Amino acid sequence: MKLKYLGTAAAEGIPAVFCNCPLCKRARELGGRDFRSRAQTLINDDLLIDFGPDTYWHVCRYGLDLAKIRTLLITHAHEDHYSPAELDYRNRPFAYLSGDKECDDADFPTLDIYLSKGAYDYAPAKFYHENVLLPGAMTFHRARAFQPFTAGKYTVTPLTANHWPDHEALNYLISDGGSTLLYAHDTGLFPQGTLDWFKENKPRLDFVSFDCTGMASGHDTGGGHHMNLYRNKITREQLLEFGCATEKTVWCCNHFSHNGKSTHDELVKIMAKDGFLVSYDGMEAEF
């Protein structure tokens, strides 16, 4: 399985648009891996996780062909992860996926979109340009925690996240039959139901992408609905204890806020001591 982090920041991005804190100032000076757009991840070239406000930038920066995407997983309805109005542009006259204006509507490939309850309830049944909405252009599915589904070559298991008490948020376990990814964004320490699921099912995890909004905080401070290095280590130990991970499992921190106060290079030095990789926009991994 191939993974590409298209964006690796929390909602405000780094540097944050209105911010002049020390980290945002340094990020503007340093550029490179210290520029972080809002979180989004591509799996192989046919599965996309989240569809936030930086999707268009990601398409341009990385030369992506989103016409190849057949599956879109939405973690939750926060706007940095889900901008549904942008999906309107998958319809005509905004998009001709085959390159031919005259192609038969039956050949227009379907995008299957799986969403947590809050995001599903927000999904538009019809777009503004309903006169050009192609049948089957997009199909919205309610993803339900702990109920696996098949999406193309993938088996996807939604897992309850600890993030947004008033609206369901999901993390995703994704397997292609050879490799398994745990994508855990946005969440704090896993809720008991998710821990119990891991303990009972014991999936073999090849790559774990952890929410690390608080960056390298060494103790359990801050909001309860995101993680930091301290919480990442706790959760890693739980997964190891349950037999879900081994010494070969790759652990990567992702989804960073400027409130964490560390540059990319500073994070790399700190987190390498505990065996964690640090994501950056454009980072690729194969496992």
Domain annotation for the chain: domains and CATH numbers:
2-286 (3.60.15.10)
For residues 245 and 252, is the Cβ–Cβ distance under 8 A?
no
pLDDT (tens digit per residue) in 119-163: 988 776 555 555 455 555 788 899 999 999 999 999 999 999 999
Report the sign of the C-alpha dihedral through residues 239, 244, 246, 250, in that order.
negative
pLDDT (tens digit per residue) in 153-201: 999 999 999 998 778 999 999 999 999 999 999 999 999 999 999 999 9
Residue burial 209-237, b: 16+ Cβ < 10 Å; e: rest: bbbbbbbbbeeeebeebbbbbbbbbebbe
For residues 78 and 226, is the Cβ–Cβ distance under 8 A?
no
Using pLDDT thresholds of 50, 70 and 90, give the confidence band for residue 94.
Answer: confident
| Residue 31 in this model has a pLDDT that exceeds 70 | yes
